[in-house]
Amino acid sequence: MLESRGLRCWLVNARQVKDVPGRPKIDKLDSVWLAKLAERGMVRPSFVPPKPVRQLRDFTRTRTVFVHERTRHKQRVDKVLQDAQIRLSSVATDPLGVSGRAMMEALIAGERSPRSLADLAPGKLTAKRYALIEAMTGQFEDHHARLLKLLLATVDHLSEQIAALDQEIAASIDALPDPRGAPVDTSAGTDGTLFGCELLIRLDEIPGVGPVAARALLAEIGPDMSVFPSPDHLASWAKLCPRTIESGVKSTTGPAGKGNPWLGEAASAAARTDTFLGARYRRLVKRRGHAKALVAVARSILVIAWHLISAPQALYHELGPDWHHKHLNPQRRTHDLVRQLERLGHTVTLAPTTA
């Protein structure tokens, strides 16, 4: 409402106000005190994206919620089958795939023969026919059929809503304003793509960041990186860096706080790849643990995204999984290996190799 009147609104973290002494407790004096702090520049505004980005964020967050709900209902479908002693998930990789849905529809229609149900499975499941017959042998009753029908209808409804949200997200990305000042209907790249679509293409090149994760990333941080002076500021906003804890003259670091939960799980996907980010995770997980290694990879992904969005012509360049080994100090590596052997009880003698 204030923005519609032409006012520029600030969202300020209450922690900054509490750190300033002399804060009154009366509501009227409290508002005067807040106005004085803002007038003297003693508070900083938090990141609030413009309205088009906020609308895109609503769509992406709603889609994430719907995907989670659909996953929960799929798990309930498997629970109903397990209650009827039907172990379809132990044979089929995707119980709600084409084959699984065909067998479930037959169960709802009244078919109870395991062999007839197994004949409905085409493709790769034909090689598992005997295991499928054994898995489909159970005590499926009418109340299981009614419950399964309701759950499958809910899953289909959520899938339709997710597809509709995908269209809304695509339209919102096409309408994103270019922070460089170019009109919305002009192409930002050399290939004729719109500004938002061009950003998605470049973000999709990051390992672990697929099309869905790229849209969520763009919706959360926005297309304008001028609000974050450096990638360190962006990582601090996302709570992907250690916290600084100060008490008097003593300054220590603490664990990263609760950051933005909507940025997705791109770090987990990147950790399983044979790329620079995957090698970074495998190096850190040995001595730092799984959680800290994932935070480090997530921070690297966010730093890469900051550079790609800040520089319109920048493209992601994969360094390779052996980048750390190529740039490792040979003397330090030798010292580490010798120290490991000495801890195992060996005496190490180094001799240079001949040409």
248-257 in b/e burial notation, b at 16+ Cβ within 10 A? Answer: eeeeeeeebe
Question: How many Cα atoms sit within 13 Å of 98 on the Cβ side?
Answer: 6
Residue 101 buriedness (CB in 10 A; 0-12 / 13-18 / 19+)? middle
Tell the residue number behind the tokens 């895109």, with chain if given.
Answer: 56
165-196 in b/e burial notation, b at 16+ Cβ within 10 A? Answer: beebbeebbeebbbbeeeeeeeebeeeeebbb
Residue 178 and residue 188 in contact, taking contact as beta carbons nearer than 8 Å: yes
pTM: 0.83
What is the spatial distance between Cα 191 and Cα 197, in angstroms, rounded to a whole number?
11
Tokens found for residue 236: 């601090």
Per-position pLDDT tens, the chain of length 355: 888 898 888 888 887 777 677 666 778 888 888 888 889 888 888 889 888 999 999 999 999 999 999 999 999 999 999 999 999 988 888 889 888 899 999 999 999 999 998 888 887 788 888 999 999 998 999 999 999 999 999 999 999 999 999 999 999 998 888 776 655 444 444 444 567 888 899 999 999 999 999 999 999 999 989 899 999 999 989 988 887 777 777 777 777 777 778 776 888 999 999 999 999 999 999 888 998 899 999 999 999 999 999 988 888 999 999 888 888 888 888 888 899 999 999 998 888 887 5
Tokens found for residue 92: 């089929």
